[in-house]
A and B are shown apart, each in its own frame.
Chain A
Amino acid sequence: MPISKEHIEHLANLARLDITDKEKEKYADQISSILNYFEQLKEVETGDVEPLCHVFDLQNVYREDKPQLVCSADKVLAEVPELEKRQIKVKAVFKNQSNL
């Protein structure tokens, strides 16, 4: 099934990927041919076969809700690109932040 450039744009937006016009065309072609390859699954009679999301029928595994030190907070915070007073800092979410 061919996929349009507009559809690629929509997907890129959903996935928070910024792509160029040239890439849109390239991805549209490549993803179309991959989707075409997927078409063969239509031959398979699946009827009411239960979808398999995990190879073993796992049950929830619980643990006691007890706080414990698993790794150092300082080390974790050291990896943050921008910190202020041990808080993770990001750019404004809203445009008119100054008016808030």
Chain B
Amino acid sequence: MKLNTLTIEQAHKGLERKDFSAVELAKSCFDAIREKDEKLNAFITISEDQAYQSAEKIDKKDRSKNKFGVLEGIPVAIKDNILVEGIKATAGSKILSTYIATYNATAVERLKKAGAIILGKTNMDEFAMGGSGETSHFGPTKNPSNLEKVPGGSSSGSVVAVAADETIFALGSDTGGSVRQPASFCGVVGFKPTYGRVSRHGLMAMASSFDQIGTLTKTVRDAAYVFEQIAGLDKFDSTTAKAKVPEADSLGQELKGLKIGVPKEYFVKGMDKQVETVVKKAIKNLSKLGVEIVEINLPMTKYALATYYILMPAEVSSNLARYDGVRYGFRAEAGNLLEMYLQTRRQGFGEEARRRVMLGTYVLSSGYYDAYYKKAQQVRRLIKNDFDKAFEQVDCIVTPTSPTTAFNLGEKFDDPLTMYLADIFTVSANVAGLPAISIPCGKANKMPVGLQFIGKYFDEKTLFDISSRAESIF
């Protein structure tokens, strides 16, 4: 068996038994990258030397003294909007194409401490803005199941690196579905924790009240292992929560008596028929696990996408103001300061980034603030209330992750609104700040289909329990 195809759990056992070394494991991933990545374009930067140095250290470590940690020697790929000290961090943008990160993101710091081996930085939609992986300055990433199709986005490279076994796991970021939607398109497990679980320190801000670092793995248990390491209070992010992080080893409890809600609003017209069939069959199969499936109502669902696409660009327009060519990144030559700002941002930002900055500026501008921004914030509360009410009845909610399977490269690129609709089933979890996970549940149109579970605040444990049992029956 090729080492790069292993899960975290399998690789850990192999390393612990010394069946193979951390260097050999890393090498198998770099071999896969060399073999496949020219076509897939999942990586922007490869950090091979550093990776081998870290792997050698793990191999030489005296293991008699301490317990051999579950992530020790395990290769990971990091989305390029998450900082790894000393390595380029472009966020898929020309404006940061030369930027070298000056510190580690907290999540990266924790992974390093846990002994994970960083293989490199992955391709992504520019500043995490896109649902197809096509807005990157470094070219589109391709779907490993079919090179003519998009992998989804924005964590396109992280998802593809996992799906194509170029790494054992990866970190992504999820603002409106950027971990779950591509995971669904490529057939891997994509997990977004409760807002506030994982520190955003060192994650380039896109829409700060929605952003959350998530995981891309081959199994649910692997997601739980990574989550256990990266989650928790951080003094550098005042929105991080104190709540206890579930232990991955306690996973897999009996599900008898649990109630799973199916919101009827998630089965709407416009959904791909084949996807609908696969998802409905998967939901029906869940009853085999001893859970009770009940229909629930989330009447505000239809407003979630509009709410998200008002509030998110507003936060984007403010967060992207820092890229001005003064302190870091790309600077255009110009005669005076204003001209320098204009030229830097004209040449440095791609089209989607500019469109969202304009949209955000509009909804925040005088005369429109109440009609759009404030209104959307009010609806955001109603959406949250909807979920609060639903979770009085059920322990978990199940939905399709996306209304379609992966679409063709270029198909939606010039029609932003249609592209935004790809996020329709994932944004609600970000609007409400709830934890959610997408797991593969079958195929439609010869492409992977994802099933999404949405959990209660800080109850990732139940989410993992249910989805890990579910993945064993699909």
Q: Do residues B341 and A16 form an inter-chain contact, with CB atoms below 8 A?
A: yes
User: In the complex, what distance in Å separates the CA atom of A75 from the CA atom of B382?
Assistant: 45
Complex Cα distance, B309 from A33, in Å, reads 13
Size class of the B contact interface (CB-based, 8 Å):
35 or more
Residues in chain A near residue B111, CB distance under 8 A: none
Which 9 A-B pairs have CB atoms at the shortest separation, nearest pair first?
A55-B433, A51-B377, A81-B331, A61-B238, A52-B381, A18-B342, A46-B378, A79-B328, A18-B346
Contacts of B321 in A (CB 8 A): 16
**Contact partner of B340 among A52, A60, A91, CB < 8 A?**
A91
Q: Is B359's CB within 8 Å of the partner chain A?
A: yes
CA–CA, A71 and B106, complex, Å = 13
What CA separation (Å) do A11 and B354 show in the bound complex?
A: 11
- Which residues of the partner chain B approach A6 to less than 8 Å between Cβ atoms? none
Measured CA separation A27–B303 after assembly (Å): 24
Could you say which residues of chain B place their CB within 8 Å of the CB of A72?
Answer: 102
With contacts A16-B341, A18-B346, A46-B382 known, is A90 near B326, CB below 8 A? yes
Q: Which residue of A lies closest to B360 (CB)?
A: A15
Contact assessment for A11 and B358 in the assembled complex, using a CB-CB cutoff below 8 Å: yes
Interface residues on A, range: 35 or more
> Can you give 22 contacting A-B residue pairs, CB < 8 Å?
A18-B343, A27-B354, A30-B416, A31-B359, A38-B372, A40-B302, A44-B303, A46-B382, A49-B381, A50-B378, A55-B433, A56-B433, A58-B239, A61-B238, A70-B103, A75-B100, A75-B102, A80-B327, A81-B326, A82-B331, A90-B326, A95-B336
Q: How far is the CA of A49 from the CA of B376 in the complex (A)?
A: 11
**Is B375 within 8 A of A46, CB to CB?**
yes
Please give me the residue from chain B that is nearest to A55 by CB atom.
Answer: B433
A53 touches B (CB below 8 Å): yes
Query: Which residues from chain B contact A100 at a C-beta distance below 8 Å?
Result: none
Interface members, chain B 377-429 (any A CB < 8 Å): 377-382, 384, 416-417, 420
A residues apposed to B, CB below 8 Å: 3, 8, 11-12, 14-19, 27, 30-31, 33-35, 37-38, 40-42, 44, 46, 49-56, 58, 60-61, 63, 70-72, 75-76, 78-82, 88, 90-93, 95
Decide: B377 and A15 in contact? CB cutoff 8 A: no
Contact present for A51 and B378 (CB under 8 Å): yes
A19 touches B336 (CB 8 A): no
With both beta carbons as reference points, the residue of chain B lying nearest to A56 in the complex is identified as: B196
Is A15 within 8 A of B102, CB to CB?
no
Measured CB to CB, the closest approach of chain A to B208, in angstroms, equals 9
Q: By CB atoms of chain B within 10 A, which of A14, A42, A95 has the most?
A: A14
Q: How many contacts A-B (CB < 8 Å)?
A: 151
Tell me the bound Cα distance from A17 to B432 in angstroms.
Answer: 32
Question: Which of chain A's residues has its CB closest to B302's CB?
Answer: A40
Does A27 lie within 8 Å of B355, measured CB to CB? Answer: yes
Q: Is the CB of A76 within 8 A of B102?
A: yes
With a cutoff of 8 Å between Cβ atoms, the chain B residues found around residue A63 in the complex are: 235
Shortest CB-to-CB span from A69 to chain B, Å, is 11
Given contacts A37-B306, A52-B378, A56-B433, 17 further A-B contacts (CB under 8 A): A17-B349, A30-B416, A34-B416, A37-B417, A40-B306, A41-B307, A44-B375, A44-B378, A50-B381, A51-B377, A54-B209, A56-B239, A60-B238, A61-B238, A91-B336, A91-B337, A91-B339
Residue B365, interface by CB 8 Å: yes
Quote the shortest CB–CB distance from B369 to chain A (angstroms): 11
Q: Please encode chain B, from 237 to 249, with 1 for each CB lying within 8 Å of some chain A CB and 0 for all others.
A: 0110100000000
In the complex, A55 Cα to B235 Cα: how many Å? 19
Cα-based distance from A82 to B433 in the complex (angstroms): 40
Which B residue's beta carbon lies closest to that of A75? B102
1/0 per residue B32-53: CB within 8 Å of A? 0000000000000000000000
A53 to B103, CA, bound (A): 29
Which residue among B241, B300, B317, B354 has the maximum number of chain A CB atoms within 10 Å of its CB? B354
Contact of B306 among A17, A18, A38 (CB under 8 A): A38
User: B225 within 8 Å of A by Cβ?
Assistant: no
**Quick check: A49 and B378 within 8 Å, CB to CB?**
yes
Q: Which of B335, B365, B378 contacts A11 (CB 8 A)?
A: B365
Chain A residues with CB under 8 A of B209 = 53-55
Most buried by B among A37, A41, A92: A41
Which of A11, A18, A60, A76 lies at the interface centre, i.e. has the most chain B CB atoms within 10 A of its CB? A18
